[in-house]
Structure 1
């Protein structure tokens, strides 16, 4: 039976999966838990408090290990044999030297650590601070210095291989699978470009694949499940070409067996929002481009298989069996979730509305999706929701302050013939997810809630106004000055039934002040068009955002010229 944990400000619970939702029995922490995680294979569950770290069996709830370390972070080896604790580094009060703060413990015999290391920082990616094991746990790799990577044997005492990179090692990632390898990112120095190198483990002497990167300040290294190919998402914080304020992204594919590498051709300009491998290892998907973004599926040779319609999305994830894929818009987007069936020619199954989602994941059985709103990203509406892949709302639980949540990893075959359980009573009084209302055109505050305003341009409305009835004091004064100037120069007024005729639109157009009004109105229209695009979720350039901030200045100038909306 599937289960998930939720860690709140005053509680830590493990609940059974869909259909039951009741809490399981285990020794819960007296104090609030700092962190809680499942092992990668789901055989262990660990949590840390201000006094100790505890490892339990998620099935029986029995305590497997008590470790006298108030860990700030935890990490399991692939099979759950070892657990790594990390605490903030500190110096010994007597010697003045840094104390080892990264400790490796054997869950079966936690009396003393099997490995002790000094690790001052946690790095930029999950597990980068820890020992990284191969899938069979025969070797553990760790970066011991900025340019040194060491492969240890299973005891973590003896070196099985060592690699020294003069350019430094910014990040590394060990592959899963039966033939382990490690991908290493070097930023390059003294004119050398950055690069990614793949070495065989444990010797670390044979290069299996390599790729020189055009531009890269940081990378995301993503292995497929078999460990035969690695995707590299290379990013820069600033786009030196000046095309965008959000930096630059380039995606590469490295294949271990053939040693081939290539740049993935993305046919829409803009950043790479998310990349994910299919659990079948023969396909990956990319969400990329300015909003509305594009989602494209590729095979392991980098060939385009299928593209989805453009939409405001920035997140994707395959179901554990690879049958379905979620493409969603979270973060600064509205929380729309699309579910596609890869087994039915990428047909769209349904659409969910999950606003304010900060975490989501597929259940191990591949039939349910968990969405959660967590703190500190959002401190309101915290809680968990569970959905069936068909779009049915199944369960909801609210928390005053929810910090983390996660499914227990398990290997469960997909069974689509299993009947859908009835929704839990917690969703009875909640409105089901509905598609958002279509966006209407931007209307200024004074025009909202009233009758529909005629769709005429600002300039047309200005020129259509009576020339004298609604004039401001400044406009009347300027008109008198113009009439006095014409009288001094002897200019005759325009003929018309023996009396001075009102100025026509063509005559007004000849006046410099009216030309300025028209120019300002043109700027105002452009600003409000940008505001509409921004409200619809489109990412604007920095210059466009700055232009929006000048709206009040434009309105002030128009008012000084006698114009009003």
Structure 2
């Protein structure tokens, strides 16, 4: 089904059944199976939108404003997508993409978390989101609840301030007071992003600083830290050793949470695969890369260089114990984003505005790098795969031997052609070097003969 909807932006629900479209009047919810409008939320001026983990709730953000009494207006609202009722309202003074979402949902939507000064508020679904449990974390700037159901773990980041180092910590919130499980202190960190693995046994904290102490990067510096979420392994908290000096471009956990890939270092960047205990497993080499994407099963891995880079994409098959084997490669020039299809067999790349105002397009490649689809757009703001509808399952299949054989033959042909071209270039270069050397020697001989004639004439003049 293809349909066109008037909207400034749109976000699909995690279960793939509904679409939230932002309009001037508010937010409209549509049924993706037939395009029917389910309900409209009367909330004008929405600038950001976010779904809960199950799609039962949706969070909207309006620009900050003040009420008549001078207090901040309730510009953050959580809505029940079944009834259209507001279940939670909050007032915040700052709304931007960098700190969004401001309301974090626990797995299963059993609770919602919101950070305030020195405290994280937990709103329980059982109480109708009316009461808040206060979790004291002094100086908390960024936090993230764990994704595993049944666990009440919270990872938090506290920025460096007044000579005190920054802190990343994992706490257990199941009791009346939070209990620290692991903790790591470090300097030169004013912001951070937190990434949990799926089973919530560990998390990664990407700490950033606006300035680079070495003056090698205009964009500041970044460091990666590893925190275990098990008290018995608290001493394993550490700074992740980067494969190369320079910024951390991207970090991605595998869907199973047993490995994570790091793209780091000054160009050409280095790509390294590590296990869930932060031990290096496999070196994927260097190249003009800045992003990594796992397919939904964690079997295929795409390493790419987008934005200001040429757009090279390399596809790997992760084998046992983390060993990776290259399946293919391609190039998607001027691409900005990349994402795997729900079936895990295709990669979508998109060139979008406002990053680029020309040559907007979407391209689809299979897992060995063959382009199967391309569509241009005059202006493309966003492109993404729809999540599979409920009840849809895909099988985790290995790469097809026939396709791999064809891709290998193609690579051998290309490699042979490239080698032949390289030999031809080397021969031409050697021939030019020989010609240049002969010309140099001839020039030296001519200069020597001229000097000898000049000395002969001088001797004759002196004799006379």
Question: Normalising to structure 1: TM-score of the pair?
Answer: 0.67
Q: Secondary structure at the match of 1:405?
A: coil
Instruction: Choose from 313, 330, 355 the match for 2:289.
Output: 313
Instruction: Choose from 209, 218, 230 the match for 2:191.
Output: 218
Q: Secondary structure at the match of 1:308?
A: strand
**Other-structure match for 1:333:** 309
Question: Normalising to structure 2: TM-score of the pair?
Answer: 0.81
Q: Secondary structure at the match of 1:189?
A: coil
Q: Secondary structure at the match of 1:157?
A: coil
Q: Secondary structure at the match of 2:245?
A: coil
**Other-structure match for 1:100:** 74
**Other-structure match for 1:57:** 31
Q: Is the 8 A contact 1:185 1:196 kept in 2?
A: yes
Do residues 322 (structure 1) and 298 (structure 2) align?
yes
**Other-structure match for 1:134:** 106
**Other-structure match for 1:78:** 53
Q: Distance in 2 between matches of 1:245 and 1:375?
A: 24
Once the two structures are superposed, the pairs formed by residues 160-239 of structure 1 within 5 Å of their partners are: 160-165=133-138, 168-178=139-149, 179-201=151-173, 203=176, 205-239=178-212
Deviation of the 1:85 alpha carbon: 0.9
Greater CA deviation, 317-326 or 50-59?
50-59
**Other-structure match for 2:224:** 251
Greater CA deviation, 411-420 or 370-379?
411-420
Do residues 398 (structure 1) and 370 (structure 2) align?
no
Deviation of the 1:153 alpha carbon: 0.8
Q: Is the 8 A contact 1:135 1:176 kept in 2?
A: yes
Once the two structures are superposed, the pairs formed by residues 105-504 of structure 1 within 5 Å of their partners are: 105-110=79-84, 112-123=85-96, 125=98, 127-129=100-102, 131-145=103-117, 147-154=118-125, 155-165=128-138, 168-178=139-149, 179-201=151-173, 203=176, 205-242=178-215, 244-258=217-231, 259=234, 260-343=236-319, 345-410=323-388, 412-416=393-397, 496-498=455-457
**Other-structure match for 1:42:** 16
Cα 1:271–1:118 shift into 2, 3 Å: same
Q: Secondary structure at the match of 2:384?
A: strand
Q: Is the 8 A contact 2:351 2:359 kept in 1?
A: yes
Cα 1:164–1:342 shift into 2, 3 Å: closer
Deviation of the 1:246 alpha carbon: 4.5
Cα 1:150–1:392 shift into 2, 3 Å: same
When Rg is computed on C-alpha atoms for both structures, the one with the higher figure is: 1
Instruction: Choose from 60, 66, 78 the match for 1:91.
Output: 66
Q: Secondary structure at the match of 1:307?
A: strand
Q: Distance in 2 between matches of 1:98 and 1:246?
A: 33
Q: Larger RCO: Structure 1 or Structure 2 (Cα < 8 Å, ≥ 6 residues apart)?
A: 1
Q: Is the 8 A contact 1:364 1:412 kept in 2?
A: no
Q: Is the 8 A contact 1:152 1:161 kept in 2?
A: no
C-alpha distance after superposition, 1:125-149 (max 9, x if no partner): 46332x111102111100133x321
Cα 1:419–1:312 shift into 2, 3 Å: closer
Deviation of the 1:254 alpha carbon: 0.6
C-alpha distance after superposition, 1:162-186 (max 9, x if no partner): 3241xx2221112100213221111
Q: Secondary structure at the match of 2:224?
A: strand
Cα 1:204–1:381 shift into 2, 3 Å: farther
Deviation of the 1:159 alpha carbon: 1.2
Cα 1:246–1:52 shift into 2, 3 Å: closer
C-alpha distance after superposition, 1:24-46 (max 9, x if no partner): 45xx53x4x12111123323211
Q: Is the 8 A contact 2:293 2:338 kept in 1?
A: no
Deviation of the 1:268 alpha carbon: 1.7
Specify which structure has the higher proportion of strand. Answer: 2
Q: Distance in 1 between matches of 2:348 and 2:106?
A: 29
Deviation of the 1:413 alpha carbon: 2.9
Q: Distance in 1 between matches of 2:380 and 2:399?
A: 31
Alignment gaps of 5+ in structure 1: 1-22, 421-433, 441-451, 468-494, 501-565
Q: Is the 8 A contact 2:160 2:189 kept in 1?
A: no
Q: Distance in 2 between matches of 1:79 and 1:340?
A: 31
Alignment gaps of 5+ in structure 2: 402-413, 423-431, 448-453, 460-464
Deviation of the 1:269 alpha carbon: 1.5
**Other-structure match for 1:10:** none
Q: Secondary structure at the match of 1:496?
A: helix
Cα 1:247–1:54 shift into 2, 3 Å: same
Q: Distance in 2 between matches of 1:24 and 1:498?
A: 94
Cα-Cα RMSD: 3.2
Q: Is the 8 A contact 1:375 1:401 kept in 2?
A: yes
Cα 1:419–1:293 shift into 2, 3 Å: closer
**Other-structure match for 1:506:** none
Q: Distance in 2 between matches of 1:193 and 1:229?
A: 22
Q: Is the 8 A contact 2:50 2:101 kept in 1?
A: no
Deviation of the 1:123 alpha carbon: 4.7
Q: Distance in 2 between matches of 1:403 and 1:244?
A: 29
